[in-house]
C-alpha cells in the first residue's frame, strides 16, 4: 500500500474508533473536492450542491467501514458515493418533471444555459461508469492521458481511444436529452 493509503487507513480506523479529530480531518481535506465534483456532475447549477454534499457525507459516515484504502483513494470512494447521490437526485427529478428547476447559474451564462446544465448532468448520469471515470480524470481532474494510462494500467493509446468513445457516448446522450 502507498503512504497515502496507510494514512487514510489510519484516519478511517481512528474515526471508526470514535476519534472525532480524525473524522474532522477527513472532512476538511475532502469537502471542497466533493463540492467541486458535484458541481461538475450537475453541469453548473449549484443550489442543490450543499444538500447533495451533505447527503454524500452522511452516507460516507454510515458506510466508512466499507472504505478499503488498498482498493483506491478516499477521495475516489467519496466521488463514487457523490456520483450515486447525484444520479438518484436527477432520476427523482426526472420523475417529477413538473417541479421547477432549482437552478442558479453564474450571471454570465445565457438563459439557455439552464437547460444545457441539466442536459449535461443527465448525460453524465447516464454514462457507463468507466466512461464517466475517464471523462472525470481528463476534464475534472485535468490529468494528462499518460497519467490516466498509468492509473488505469493501460497504454496511452488505449486510453485515447476509450476517451474518444466516452466523448462520443456523452455527445450522443446529450443530443438525446436535447431532442
Close Cβ partners of 134 (under 8 Å, ≥ 6 residues apart): 148, 152, 159, 162, 163, 166
d(CA 171, CA 123): 8
From the list 44, 77, 125, 137, which residue makes contact with another protein (rule: CB under 8 A)? 44
Q: Is 57 in the site for another protein (CB under 8 A)?
A: yes
Q: How far is the CB of 133 from another protein (least distance, A)?
A: 13
- Between 17 and 98, name the residue whose CB sits nearer to another protein: 17
Q: Is 6 in the site for another protein (CB under 8 A)?
A: no
d(CA 101, CA 113): 12
Q: Is 116 in the site for another protein (CB under 8 A)?
A: yes
Determine the interface stretch with another protein among 18-26, 68-76, 90-98, 145-153 (rule: CB under 8 A). Answer: 18-26
As given in the structure block, the three cell numbers for residue 22 are 480524525
Q: Is 14 in the site for another protein (CB under 8 A)?
A: no
Burial-class residue 73 by CB neighbours within 10 Å (0-12, 13-18, 19+): middle
Q: Is 60 in the site for another protein (CB under 8 A)?
A: yes
Amino acid at each position: 500500500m502507498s503512504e497515502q493509503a496507510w494514512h487514510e487507513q489510519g484516519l478511517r480506523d481512528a474515526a471508526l474508533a470514535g476519534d472525532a479529530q480524525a473524522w474532522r480531518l477527513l472532512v476538511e481535506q475532502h469537502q471542497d473536492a466533493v463540492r467541486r465534483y458535484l458541481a461538475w456532475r450537475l453541469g453548473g447549477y449549484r443550489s442543490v450542491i450543499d444538500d447533495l454534499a451533505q447527503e454524500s457525507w452522511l452516507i460516507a459516515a454510515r458506510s466508512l467501514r466499507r472504505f478499503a484504502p488498498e482498493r483506491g483513494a478516499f477521495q475516489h470512494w467519496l466521488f463514487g458515493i457523490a456520483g450515486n447521490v447525484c444520479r438518484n437526485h436527477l432520476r427523482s427529478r426526472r420523475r417529477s418533471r413538473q417541479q421547477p428547476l432549482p437552478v442558479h447559474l453564474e450571471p454570465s451564462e445565457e438563459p439557455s444555459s439552464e437547460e444545457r446544465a441539466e442536459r449535461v448532468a443527465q448525460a453524465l448520469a447516464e454514462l457507463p461508469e468507466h466512461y464517466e471515470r475517464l471523462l472525470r480524470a481528463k476534464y475534472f481532474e485535468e490529468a494528462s492521458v499518460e497519467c490516466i494510462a498509468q492509473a488505469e494500467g493501460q497504454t496511452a493509446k488505449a486510453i485515447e481511444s476509450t476517451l474518444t468513445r466516452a466523448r462520443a457516448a456523452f455527445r450522443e446522450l446529450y443530443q438525446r436529452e436535447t431532442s
